[in-house]
Amino acid sequence: MQNNVPKNIVILISGGGSNMAAIVRAAQQENWHQRYGACVAAVVSNKADAAGLAFARQQGIATEVLDHKAFGTREAFDAALADAIDHYQPALVVLAGFMRILTPGFVARYAGRLVNIHPSLLPAFTGLNTHQRAIDAGCKVAGVTVHQVTAELDVGPILDQAVVPVLPGDTADTLAARVLTQEHIIYPRAVRALLPLL
């Protein structure tokens, strides 16, 4: 039984937005609006030239751009970002290739409803250069993790994971491409699993 309060999803991107697009397509194909009272209400980027903005506009989704370089501090940018997000009364804020480390205040504001995707099998390889680090460590498998965001980087509760093999001769790029195909599967799945709980 759905209540009448829409479960708005706001997605933050910095670039191509392929994970955002995967979530939008899943929402459309699986009819999240009817099933869960949920929809992707807005896509927000810190870069005006983020290619994902064009996709969002083509889908009729509201878009906003806040250039982080226009703000003197991370706190000032995050405060403006939160104001933009709150305009859409989000039930869930989804980080999809949003290349900013968020301040503790921002994370606290959306505690329990802020999710991110990380291209490793957390808790392994937090931070950057995950694919090369997995190869250098001799890992036989790598993967991707969807997790709730906490003040500490890449250590929030794990919501979903997918494993991919590390193949002989893999480069960071070939491994990243294999992981990305799984990202597009598990991120919509993890978001969908949260919707009945919101």
Among residues 187, 162, 193, the alpha carbon closest in space to that of 94 is found at: 187
Give how far Cα 5 sits from Cα of 38, 90, 188, Å: 9, 11, 21
Beta bridge partners of 38: 7
Read off the amino acid at residue 25.
R
Task: Check 87, 118, 131, 147 and give the catalytic one.
Answer: 118
Q: Is 140 helix (H, G, I), strand (E, B) or coil?
A: coil
CB 12 within 8 A of CB 30: no
The contacts of residue 47 (CB under 8 Å, 6+ apart) are 14, 15, 65, 67
Residue 81: CB atoms within 10 A of its CB come to 23
Tell me, yes or no, if 33 is annotated catalytic. Answer: no
Q: Is 114 helix (H, G, I), strand (E, B) or coil?
A: strand
Distance CA 40, CA 34 (A): 13
Catalytic residues: 118
